[in-house]
Chain A
Amino acid sequence: MEPIIPILILCLPLLGFLVLGLLGPKMSHKAAGWYGVLSIGTVMVLAYITAITYFFSGAPEFILDGTRLQYVVFNQDWLNFYKDLTIRIGFLLDPISALMLVVITTISFCVHLYSLGYMEGEKGFQRYYAFLQLFSFSMLGLVVATNIFQMYIFWELVGASSYLLIGFYYQRPSAVSASKKAFIVTRFADLGFLIGILILSYYTGTFNFTDLTGSVLANGSSVNNLITPGVVASLKFGGASFMGCSLLTWALVLIFMGGMGKSAMLPLHIWLPDAMEGPTPVSALIHAATMVVAGVYLVARLFPLYLMEEAALLFITVVGAITAFYAAVVACTQVDIKRVLAFSTISQIAFMMVSLGVARPEIHEGLGYMASMFHLFTHAMFKALLFLGAGALIHAVHSNDYTAMGGLRKYMPITHITFLIGCLAIAGIPPFSGFFSKDEILSACYENNFIWGAWMSMVAGLTAFYMFRLYYLIFWWDEPDYGHHKPHDAPWPMSLPLIFLALVSCVAGFIPFGEFVTWNGEPYHIHINWVGVAIPSIVIAVLAIALATFMYRKKNPLPDKVAKATGALWTAAHHRFYWDEIYMFITHKIIFNLICKPIAWFDRHIIDGTMDGLAWCAQRLSITIRPLQSGNVQSYVYVYLFGALLLGGVTAAVVLL
């Protein structure tokens, strides 16, 4: 494959960023917006070409004996450390990166287009598009990374562009603090990622994904049987261990910590709800569809390595399962519609994590892996749809809270229908896409362990409940006073992406995903286990929707009663189980007051004080010995004589004794 298209895929958004960033202030809003849309549109086309070439051309470098291969399009040295340990900037094509190329460019294009309407007339319109371009560049760079350090580089860059976009309304203090929080929390997680990389790269001597995971893949599908002992030894770092776990486990868990930060897993999830301070299209792009799944993508990327340490996979599963449940519960109680969607995102990403965590080669040939990627794909579409729909609502009523909405189905039919499709998809109702992917995940869970399956089914039910709670509260319930300006559907640049994504959400489930994306490149034929998994989960979803309908379709006191009845639990969930307060306590009270301030005090008073104290001592000493110079000549002679005698006496004593 010629590298020109991949290079363009990376360079066009970067160029867009530079052009819009440097020349933006001189451009009109319209020119800047259309430039951005065209740029990303071109990238989208190129990405499609690349993906199609990869999946369908059947060229021997992409597929061999039915097994899809990893193919490095180009790999440029960027920074050499020692020996072969080199950071390279390259372009890796394999099933998941091709998949991500499609997802990112599609959503990004939709958001670019949508923003033409949504951000119309905003101050800093050009800047907004510049940041979008920067984000697209970073995200694309991340998914095509050929080595873990390239991934880390773009990982940081997406963090920064996320920071910039969350803080887009920089004059709003809440946006500023939200952006700061997002950056710092993910930075903290990245610390783990970095240390993990250090450990991994030191012992393996490489950053390259193909070297790290290739050996596992090359030795066949069943890791435990077929890998030669030598490979295991090199990957297990010769049995080095630390605090009871092997270093490989440590490395993998630490790397996963980076993923926990970006993908907002408990307890590093707190930034994502706040990140909704950014413009809504940004939330759709970054905080629903693309960046937040980077953590999932990271685990998937290193999946063969994780397979070597089941402890790490178990850890992922547990974190994912807890997060999924937690986020779903919180989502049931939120007022801000974007926050509901944010928590729903957290919950859905946790689904993907769990799915990866339970995946084993021996269980349906690594079904969990495929399911996770499938869900990533479908979720990106319907969650972007939901967010963009929410954006249209917010655009129409100028508020984020459902209390300001209600009965909107009459005023905004397109939004209503598309939003409903999104809700159905996420609730897992066939034939919408969410059903298929979620079903695969649940199958994988049940296959691994019944507990995971049951647990995740419950979460799926909760998902259906809170999504329809939201749906009813927005579109049904009671109509508030909208005044003279009745809400209406958004202009075509905003509606078009909605409709497009809704269509995708309707049909995406029928894609034979397993043919394209599996953990080892060999095709997997999806078959739905209707009796064991699908039917029960549909039933659960329908029941949950029914409950939501009962509670929220029309204005009634039931929700309040339920809230009262559950009391403390409801309050706690409403306050997101006080995670923010805990963090506030730790950062402000403990780190700021008990570490930073004492250190600053120590520096000013002890360290600085010692230096000043030395000067003070000299001054004091100087004053103390002042009487020596009394002015009286006889006292001078006393000192003289005493000095001479002492000099002689002490020397005599020392020399002769």
Chain B
Amino acid sequence: MFSNPLIYFVVIPVIMLLGIYLSRNMAQIRTVAVAGSLALLGLSAWLLVDYLGLRAAGADAPMLYRGDWTWFSAMNIKLSVGVDGISIAMLLLSSIILLTGSFASWKINPLPKEFFLWLILLSIGVFGFFISIDLFTMFMFYEVALIPMYLLIGIWGTGRKEYSAMKLTLMLMGGSAFLMLSLIGIYYNAGLHSWNLLEIAQADSIDHTWQMFLFPMAFVGFGVLGAMFPFHTWSPDGHACAPTAVSMLHAGVLMKLGGYGCFRVAIYLMPYAANELAWIFLILTGISVVYGAFSACVQTDLKYINAYSSVSHCGLVLFAILMLNTTAMTGAIMQMLSHGLMTALFFALIGMIYGRTHTRDIRQMGGLMKIMPYLAVCYMIAGFASLGLPGLSGFVAEMTIFVGSFENTHTLNRVFTIIACCSIVITAVYILRVVGKLLLGPVYDKHHEELTDATWWERTSTVTLIICVAAIGCFPNFFANLIRTTFSPEIFKVLGM
């Protein structure tokens, strides 16, 4: 079991949990958190290289590093792991954000130990989800990732934290209720006595009528986490109240679980229904894209702006997935990466600004460029990434999505593609509105003039993220190939390509 590298994505966090449990002071906690996340990052980087090597050497299985360990033998539930390019991209993303999140919560207070314990439990869920290919294990890790949010927001959050934490948890769990039913339904209706999604996809034996019933549930179940309209309402409140690292991890990684799940489970296993019912969700996600952007235009709280922006961007992910072609799918995964990184950057910066000014209301701030140029410049870069400036990650992802979506010749798809394209303008509006209000112009509050610029750990965190954002933006083909060339043969069959 321990000869499989993937298992260490769960083992390392478990060791981190132990380490933090045994730590006596803040320095030790930080050491464990940073060392552990570095180890995870190293592991994912190694995995990336090794994976590409294996693929280049001709490994053409849909998933590599496969491992199966029987768990509940009677139900044939296994701990099955395996990764393809998409999972690796997600693992890489998660470890980067965990690392930067650890830096961003350098001075977390109160109860630092508990904070990191929950944060790492959350990351266990995330990593476990991305390496699993067994529906049961996947679902279990999915829920593991959800529940620490309640405490993380509830204890360390700000504002209406109790309400938001409760709303977030209940809505996400509501989604997972649908999901659970759908997964059990898939298991029984596939008739394979197997939870392994590769086998189910291969057999494609789910009855078409049942697909029509199970697909919407799976899609909605994951869609809630992917902030699909009208189930997105947990996101603004939740993000607004969450502490920095949690916002980063949640918007950066957890919301990606939704998109990943929609792709991996809903569409992969039920292609017939995906084809038949895509239009419903296309409308919903298309609305998400524009709706989130418009909503962001009038918000005054930085985190709300960003949360609505996430609704819009994540809506684009689901939107692209529903286009059911490789290009759009590639774009969706790139958008996940891109959005994960840049939104984490955003939330990190907002946390840093909030830590200094003690307000997130853009009406009460202004001219921060003069006071804290480093943070302001980073914010601007994040903003540019978000509005899709070439050279940063947002652009390549969105363009891939648009080109891919336009490939779908159905009129409805075309119309919604054009509607979705409009988001690039609206995004520019709200991003520049914030930049203009917050960073530029005269200093609003004279008391702010004494504030300091970023400290070294804040710089580490932001620089890491910016480098990643720029890397994707400058060398997109590397990532596109990583994702595209590893679409397993089944998916091509599914999509009729």
Chain A contacts to B: CB under 8 angstroms: 77-82, 85, 87, 149, 153-154, 156-157, 160, 163, 167, 170-173, 176-177, 179-180, 183-184, 187-188, 190-191, 194-195, 198-199, 201-202, 592, 595-597, 599-600, 603, 607-608, 610-612, 615
Contacts and interface: CB of A to CB of B under 8 A. Distances in A.
A612 B481 CA distance: 44
B418 A595 contact: no
Given A79-B480, A184-B429, A191-B424, 8 more contacts: A80-B477, A85-B403, A156-B389, A176-B436, A596-B297, A600-B295, A600-B298, A607-B229
Given A153-B395, A202-B407, A596-B297, A184 B432 contact: yes
Contacts of A184: 425, 428-429, 432
Sort A-B residue pairs by CB-CB distance and give the 7 closest, nearest first: A153-B390, A170-B440, A198-B406, A596-B297, A187-B428, A79-B476, A176-B440
B390 A194 contact: no
B396 interface: yes
Contacts of A85: 403
Interface string B288-312: 0001001101110000000000000
A176 B295 contact: no
A82 B326 contact: yes
Given A170-B369, A607-B230, A596 B294 contact: yes
Given A82-B407, A156-B389, A187 B370 contact: no
A483 to B, nearest CB: 28
29 contacts: A80-B477, A80-B480, A82-B327, A82-B407, A149-B399, A153-B390, A156-B389, A156-B390, A157-B390, A167-B440, A170-B439, A170-B440, A171-B367, A171-B370, A171-B443, A173-B442, A180-B432, A180-B436, A183-B428, A184-B428, A190-B424, A194-B402, A194-B421, A198-B402, A592-B298, A597-B298, A607-B232, A607-B233, A611-B167
B432 A81 contact: no
A82 B387 CA distance: 24
A77 B417 CA distance: 25
B184 to A, nearest CB: 24
Q: Chain B contact residues: over half helix, strand or loop, or mixed?
A: helix
Contact of B291 (A171, A180, A599): A599
B97 to A, nearest CB: 24
Contact of A160 (B294, B389, B399, B442): B389
Residue of A202, A596, A607 most packed against chain B (CB within 10 A): A596
Contacts of A157: 389-391
Contacts of B291: 599, 603
Contacts of B418: 195
Interface in B235-251: 236-237
A202 B436 CA distance: 37
A78 B472 CA distance: 11
A603 B294 CA distance: 11
A75 to B, nearest CB: 14
A316 B47 CA distance: 54
B298 to A, nearest CB: 5
B400 to A, nearest CB: 6
Contact of B432 (A172, A183, A198, A600): A183
Contacts of B355: none
A142 to B, nearest CB: 11
A195 B406 CA distance: 9
A78 B443 CA distance: 41
Contacts of A173: 441-442
B356 interface: no
Nearest to A14: B391
Contacts of B429: 184
Contact of B421 (A87, A179, A195): A195
B431 to A, nearest CB: 10
A78 B477 contact: yes
Nearest to A181: B432
Contact of A177 (B390, B424, B436): B436
A245 B297 CA distance: 35
Interface in B82-121: none
B410 interface: no
B445 to A, nearest CB: 14
B352 interface: no
Given A81-B403, A188-B425, A608 B233 contact: yes
Given A198-B402, A202-B407, A608-B233, A600 B299 contact: yes
B422 A191 contact: yes
Nearest to B167: A611
Given A82-B327, A183-B428, A599-B295, A171 B396 contact: no
Nearest to A194: B421
B404 interface: yes
Contacts of A608: 233, 237
B384 interface: yes
A151 B400 CA distance: 16
A156 B390 CA distance: 7
B254 to A, nearest CB: 19
B363 interface: no
B171 interface: yes
Contacts of B234: 611
Contacts of B193: none
B291 to A, nearest CB: 6
Contacts of A592: 297-298
B433 interface: yes
Nearest to B403: A81
A198 B409 CA distance: 12
Interface string B378-406: 00000010011111000110011011101
Contacts of A87: 399
Contacts of A188: 425
Given A596-B295, A596-B297, A611 B233 contact: yes
Nearest to B475: A78
Contacts of B440: 167, 170-171, 176
Most central of B390, B417, B436 by chain A CB within 10 Å: B390
A85 B417 CA distance: 18
A303 B439 CA distance: 42
A172 B326 CA distance: 47
A156 B407 CA distance: 23
Given A153-B395, A596-B298, A198 B403 contact: yes
Interface in B430-472: 432-433, 436, 439-443
Contacts of B399: 79, 87, 149
A596 B481 CA distance: 38
Contact of A176 (B171, B407, B428, B441): B441
Interface string B205-222: 000000000000000000
Contact of B477 (A77, A195, A611): A77
Contacts of B424: 187, 190-191, 194
B262 to A, nearest CB: 20
A603 B399 CA distance: 28
A187 B3 CA distance: 52
Nearest to B334: A79
Given A157-B391, A180-B433, A79 B396 contact: yes
Contacts of A160: 384, 389
A562 B388 CA distance: 49
A188 B427 CA distance: 11
Contacts of B403: 81-82, 85, 198, 201
Contacts of A199: 406
A187 B326 CA distance: 28
A202 B407 CA distance: 7
